[in-house]
Structure 1
Amino acid sequence: MWTKIGDVHCITADLNIQKGAFDKAAEAWLCALTAFEVARRLADENDPHCGDISTKVEAAVQRFGSLERVQIACSDQSEFPAYYLPVGGPDSCTPAVICISSEEETAATLLGRLLPVAIGRGMSLLVISHDDISNHRRGQSELFLSCCLEYLSLRPDVDATRIGVFGDGLSAVLATDFAAFDRRVASAVCDGGLWGWARTLASVGWMTRTAVNEDLASARRSRLVRQLKCPVLVVAGGRGAVSVPEAIKLQAHCTAARIDLELKMPRVARTPLREIENFVTSDNCIFGWLEHKLARASAP
Structure 2
Amino acid sequence: MKMESTAWPDVRSDLASTRRGAAIFLDNLADGVICGATGRQTWAAKWTEIGDAQCLLADRNINKKAFDEAAEAWLCALTSFEVARRLINKDDPNSGDISAKVDADIHRFGLSLRQKVERVQIAWCDQAEFPAYYVPAGHPDLCAPAVICISCEQETGATLLGRLLPAVIGRGMSVLVISHDDVSNRSGVEPEMLLSCCLDYLSSRPEVDAGRIGVYGDGLSAALATAFAASDRRVAAAVCDGGLWSLARDLAAVSWMTRAADAVDEDIVSTHRSGEKRDCPSAAYCVRRSAAHRTKYIG
Fold conserved between structures, TM > 0.5: yes
Equivalence for 1:69: 119
Which secondary structure does the structure 2 equivalent of 1:178 belong to?
Answer: helix
Does 1:122 pair with 2:172?
yes
Question: How many residue pairs are counted as aligned between the two chains?
Answer: 217
Distance 1:154 1:143 in 2: 17
Q: Which runs of 5+ in 2 are unaligned?
A: 1-45, 111-115, 261-289
Would you say 1:55 and 2:105 are equivalent positions?
A: no
For 1:237, the aligned partner's letter is W
Q: 1:104: Cα distance to partner?
A: 1.8
Partner of 2:25: none
Q: What residue number does 1:210 align with?
A: none
**TM-score between both structures, scaled by the size of structure 1:** 0.67
Match status 1:281 vs 2:289: no
SS state at 1:278 partner: helix
- The answer as to whether partners of 2:82 and 2:254 remain within 8 angstroms in 1 is no
RCO (CA 8 Å, sep 6+): is it higher in 1 or 2? 2
Structure 1 runs (4+) greater than 4 angstroms displaced = 293-296
Q: Which residue of 2 aligns with 1:150?
A: 200
Provide closer, same or farther for how the CA distance between residues 235 and 48 of structure 1 changes in structure 2, counting only shifts above 3 A.
closer
Residue 123 of structure 1: CA displacement? 0.6
> Which stretch shifts more, 149-158 or 40-49?
40-49
Render the CA deviation track for 1:62-90: whole Å, top value 9, x for unaligned: 12231111110113542101110111333
* SS of structure 2 residue aligned to 1:63: helix
CA distance in 2, matches of 1:80, 1:267: 29
| Percent identical | 63
SS in 1 for 2:122: strand
Describe how 1:89-100 pairs up with structure 2 within 5 A.
89-100=139-150
Select the residue among 48, 51, 54 that pairs with 1:6: 51
In the aligned structure 1, how far is the partner of 2:253 from the partner of 2:297? 31
Residues 7/282 of structure 1: CA separation in 2 closer, same or farther (3 Å cut): closer
The answer to whether the aligner puts 1:268 opposite 2:247 as a matched pair is: no
Q: Note the alpha carbon deviations across 1:216-268, whole angstroms, 9 max, x for none.
A: xxxxxxxxxxxxxxxxxx76311xxxxxxxxxxxxxxxxxxxxxxxxxx8343
Partner of 1:214: none
Compare the two structures and name the one with the higher helix fraction.
2
1:23 aligns with 2:68: yes
Aligned partners of 1:18, 1:158: CA distance in 2, in Å? Answer: 33
